[in-house]
Amino acid sequence: MTVCSYDIITDSSANLPDSMIDAWGLKVLSLEFIVDGVSYKGYDPDVKTDNHQFYTMMRDGKEVQTAMASIIDAEVLLRDSFDRGQDVLYLGFDSALSATYEVISEHMEKIRAEFYADRQLRCVDTFGATLGEGLLVAEAVQRRDAGYSLDQLADWAIANRFNVACWFTVDDLKYLQRGGRLSAGAAFAGMLLSIKPVLQIDGQGLLIPMEKLRGRRRSIQFLADKLADTIRQPTAGAPVFISHADCLEDCQALERLILERFPDVEILVNELDPVIGAHSGPGTLAVFFWTDQER
């Protein structure tokens, strides 16, 4: 871990593996999910979430609620950094999908202004979710370690956040319907026809439907084709991040399709965290990559 004059704080919604969080010295602010009245952290360094058990509960009909990150937790992380003489860059969860960024960034700035006027804080809305947010954070870490100042890195993140392509497909429309992103009638008709929608996070940070495809295989192929058509000219080791909600075989199928065309890219796979998965459901599959086409 590189010693630096500032810390990076991000959210559990960035969905990065524990190994990267530890190696990079990231500070993670956790969102929460609630099952049967019991609240759980989306990220807890001391407790490994059993994602398979979580998605099994969803398949069995358990309804899951989610909650934004706690301002108390945010303040603890911020004060820890400032008390150690570190400035802070906060790379936050898409403000169009959660109130977390707006509330947390405002509270952080209030604490800084009242108690740490000599410290610097920059907050950036990533307009990304899951490993799309994570991909921006991962690149930010590399640039931090290459010597970017806090202001340089914050400005870079703002300038490049819309060059992270974020594409999703879901396996069961009822979860989008529960979340108000699809009418009950459309969800019922889509399930009868085995419709598998493909969605994108657009330039306003909204999750919008782009395609309606018959069958899972076609939706997976679409994700691979979209990557092939729009990925920034891939060099050896170019990052491609994939999130999946307890659908490893489909994830592996997508990996194979990508590697057939781009054998030198570096693919990172991680299970979709429960806070995001609660809204899209088991079987969600998502791919994230750098593109020159701003979304």
User: In whole angstroms, how far apart are CA 247 and each of 52, 173, 265?
Assistant: 9, 16, 22
Asked if residue 249 and residue 186 are part of one domain, the reply reads: yes
Asked if residue 71 and residue 39 are part of one domain, the reply reads: yes
Q: Which residue among 161, 189, 211 closes a domain?
A: 161
**Residues in the chain, how many?**
295
Residue 47 is assigned to a structural domain of this protein? yes
Write the CATH number for 193.
3.30.1180.10
Residue 221 is assigned to a structural domain of this protein? yes
Asked if residue 150 and residue 108 are part of one domain, the reply reads: yes
Structural domain for 202, as ranges: 163-290
Element (H, E) at 104: helix 100-115
Q: How many CB atoms lie within 10 A of CB 194?
A: 11
Task: Say what the alpha-carbon torsion angle 15, 16, 19, 22 is, to the nearest 10 degrees.
Answer: -100
- Cβ–Cβ < 8 Å for 24, 10: no
List for the chain the helix, strand, coil content (%; round to 5).
45, 25, 30
Residue 1 is assigned to a structural domain of this protein? no
pTM of the model: 0.93
Asked if residue 140 and residue 11 are part of one domain, the reply reads: yes
Asked if residue 241 and residue 107 are part of one domain, the reply reads: no
Write the CATH number for 135.
3.40.50.10170
Q: What is the pLDDT, as a whole number, of residue 179?
A: 52
Residues of the chain below pLDDT 70 = 1-3, 173, 176-194
C-alpha span between 234 and 214 (Å, rounded): 30
Q: What is the pLDDT, as a whole number, of residue 186?
A: 38
Residue 295 is assigned to a structural domain of this protein? no
Q: What is the pLDDT, as a whole number, of residue 3?
A: 60
Asked if residue 237 and residue 157 are part of one domain, the reply reads: no
Using DSSP's 3-state secondary structure scheme, residue 66 falls into strand
Q: Which residue among 161, 181, 201 closes a domain?
A: 161
β-bridge pairing 6-11 and 87-92: parallel
Q: What is the pLDDT, as a whole number, of residue 236?
A: 85
Residue 256 is assigned to a structural domain of this protein? yes
Asked if residue 125 and residue 63 are part of one domain, the reply reads: yes
Asked if residue 186 and residue 150 are part of one domain, the reply reads: no
Digit-coded pLDDT (tens) for 224-238: 999 999 999 878 899
Sign (positive/negative) of CA torsion 141, 240, 227, 203? Answer: negative
Asked if residue 169 and residue 148 are part of one domain, the reply reads: no
- Cβ–Cβ < 8 Å for 273, 43: yes
Q: What is the pLDDT, as a whole number, of residue 46?
A: 87
Asked if residue 71 and residue 149 are part of one domain, the reply reads: yes
Q: What is the pLDDT, as a whole number, of residue 189?
A: 36
**What is the DSSP annotation of 143-191?**
HHHTT--HHHHHHHHHHHGGGEEEEEE-S-THHHHHTTSS-HHHHHHHH
User: In whole angstroms, how far apart are CA 205 and each of 101, 168, 182, 295?
Assistant: 12, 14, 18, 9
Q: In total, how many domains does the chain have?
A: 2
Asked if residue 137 and residue 169 are part of one domain, the reply reads: no
Residue 243 is assigned to a structural domain of this protein? yes
Asked if residue 10 and residue 81 are part of one domain, the reply reads: yes
Q: Which residue among 132, 161, 190 closes a domain?
A: 161
Using DSSP's 3-state secondary structure scheme, residue 289 falls into strand
C-alpha span between 93 and 8 (Å, rounded): 14
Q: Hey, what are 28's tokens?
A: 């993670």
Q: What is the pLDDT, as a whole number, of residue 50?
A: 77
C-alpha span between 96 and 43 (Å, rounded): 21
Q: What is the DSSP letter of 87?
A: E
